[in-house]
Chains A and B, each alone.
Chain A
Amino acid sequence: MSVATLAASVASPRKATAAALSNGILIVIALCFLLPLAWLILASLDPDASYRTQIPANPSFANYAAVLTPGLTFLPLWNSLLLSGGAAVATVVAAVLAAYPLSRYTMRFNKPFMYAILFGTCLPITAIMVPVYSLFVRLNLIDSMPATIFFMAATSLPMAIWMTKNFMDSVPISLEEAAWVDGASAMTALRRVVVPLMRPGLGVVFIFVFIQAWGNFFVPFVLLLSPSKQPAAVSIYSFFGQYGAIAYGQLAAFSVLYSVPVILLYALVSRGMGASFTLSGAIKG
């Protein structure tokens, strides 16, 4: 597909054709990616929604009004906020503390540790919820919000340490040296000098972990049992009635409400720093 456009070379009329062709192909791709989402938006505004994509006959916010109740929406969203906020705070704190010695001191310990971290980034840990479940049963941690938060923090920690160390490496050490000369301890220098300087980077790590935890379904689905603790990702199943009737419109409306926070957060990150910045922190060493 792309080969045809790439074959166009230096000559400018051909270049113009190539640009037009590229634009055309990209618009088609955009439409293909957008098409599945059309159902979500249209159904959320349609009181008579089904799995068919249709322009609502009587568009209204009835679905939104129906789902905006404490039990259906506010409690699950609050639980999601607790889970992802807790996981993100725990991850960032642990990652900053861990990244500091790794970034600032040259130790024999660094290299094996960073390799272990890299190895940890790769393990398909969220795919192995079965042993995690049985371990949690054994430790009496099933249905415990803090344990689930710490588990989610631990699964994103390798990536977070990796990113934080890279961000910290780019903070010049001379400013800390000044603090040391003035008698500040390493931890004071970290808190007063380094952390404020790398605030954008830490924001990226925080949002990165938050978005991942917010969208995670499998972990809370397995580890949290009581409905009062379940986050939005799991409570979404309450729109599947016991008698096989699915409230499509309400499901779509709830999905939109549940997705908006992460879309806004993502927009914040990519507008502020650019997605490539995020990734360069994650991938470049």
Chain B
Amino acid sequence: MKPEQIAPTRGPNPGDPEPVGSGSPGRPESTEGGSRRRGPLGTRARTAARLLPLLPAVLLLLVFLAGPVAWSFYGSFTNAALTGREARNPQWVGLDNYITLFQDPVFPLALWLTVVFVVASAIIGQNFLGLGIALLMNRANRVVGSLVGLTVVAAWVLPEIVAAFVAYAYFSKDGTLNQVLSAFGMTGPNWLFSLPMLAIILANVWRGTAFSMMVYRAALNDVPIEITEAAMIDGAGGTKRLVLITIPMIKSSITTNLMLITLQTLSVFTLIWVMTAGGPGNQSTTLPVMAFQEAFRFSDIGYGTAIATVMLLIGAAFSVVYIRALRPGKG
């Protein structure tokens, strides 16, 4: 994937197709980024007419996407509750929820567990395993390759609740993993109780590696074979070729993939909820689980909303980094 290809939008570009009869024969404005609004009334009306088809999408996004985001910021300053008087008429409580949050001993733990979960299962697990499988597939037998692709993708295509139950069964005390271990003469621990984080991390690697694998397969297919061959003739070994040629050439895919899987993993709820429900104690309570528990188990919607707002801010920060990382390719 060439950097130019990943540019978020082609943007105003003299080479862009412009429909016949869309006015401005010499179209000088469009090459300048468009300054149509300053034009005569007719141009403005035409622009409005052109934008009209955007309306359904914009309405949907405003009501159901921007709405909850704005509501999240607002609600985090209230004492909204699940039931009772505070459910009907929540009071403005200022920064109370945030003060409680930063004094809550569970919060730093949840933040830390979220970081551990994202780094271990997405950035290390899914990313490297996905890249490894994609690289091996280029070398291996075609049949074996597609067979592996199929099994890896199977875990990814399953509905999340089914994947979560399957992972629960696999890691439970008498589950498949311990059966396999005992076949080798080992006694496995009760994974979900003694090593809950390890269990959910492995489960998320199992569930999500397919995405990285597919991104890297597509990226590796775009690396021209001549370049690899030229390096081979120059005597570069496999490792050297990988580090000096393949990796730099798929760099933009790596960035894209890392950001997407980080954000996906940040919002994982169902898998953890079914496998451990955040327990035992708070030992696997990540931020989404904590927000849910505070809101629905302890009936404190305002507090749960404050946690959700923190997650939104983390997600937004990642988005900004992601979009900026893609910009240099814009040229």
Contact = CB atoms under 8 A, between A and B. Distances in A.
> Do A and B associate with each other?
yes
Interface of A: 1-3, 5-10, 18-19, 22-23, 25-27, 29-30, 32-40, 43, 50-53, 90, 93-95, 97-98, 100-102, 104-111, 113-115, 118-135, 137-138, 150-151, 153-155, 157-158, 161, 169, 173, 176-177, 180-181, 186-187, 190, 211, 214-218, 232-233, 236, 251, 255, 258-259, 262-263, 266, 270, 275-276, 279-280, 283-285
A93 B57 CA distance: 9
A106 B170 contact: no
Interface stretch (B100-108, B119-127, B135-143, B276-284): B135-143
Contacts of B318: 122
B68 interface: yes
A253 B26 CA distance: 65
Given A124-B311, A216-B160, A98 B16 contact: no
A108 B253 contact: no
B53 A101 contact: yes
Given A133-B295, A279-B214, A122 B159 contact: no
A258 B34 contact: no
Nearest to A116: B61
A218 B166 contact: no
The DSSP consensus for interface residues of chain B is helix
B162 A258 contact: yes
B19 A36 contact: no
A276 B217 CA distance: 7
11 contacts: A5-B238, A101-B51, A108-B33, A122-B315, A123-B65, A124-B263, A124-B267, A127-B315, A211-B157, A275-B217, A285-B9
Interface string B7-24: 111111100111111100
B139 A259 contact: no
Nearest to A178: B20
B179 interface: yes
B214 A276 contact: yes
B158 A30 contact: no
A141 to B, nearest CB: 10
Nearest to A174: B17
**Minimum-distance CB pairs A-B, first 7:** A154-B64, A127-B267, A122-B319, A215-B159, A131-B72, A6-B238, A98-B57
Contacts of B76: 131
Contacts of A27: 144, 147-148
Interface string B190-213: 000000000000000010010000
Contacts of B132: 1-2
A233 B163 CA distance: 11
Given A9-B232, A40-B166, A105-B19, A53 B8 contact: no
Contact of B50 (A93, A101, A180): A101
Contact of B133 (A29, A236, A276): A29
B188 interface: no
A266 B152 contact: no
B249 interface: no
Contact of B61 (A34, A120, A131): A120
Contacts of A190: 53
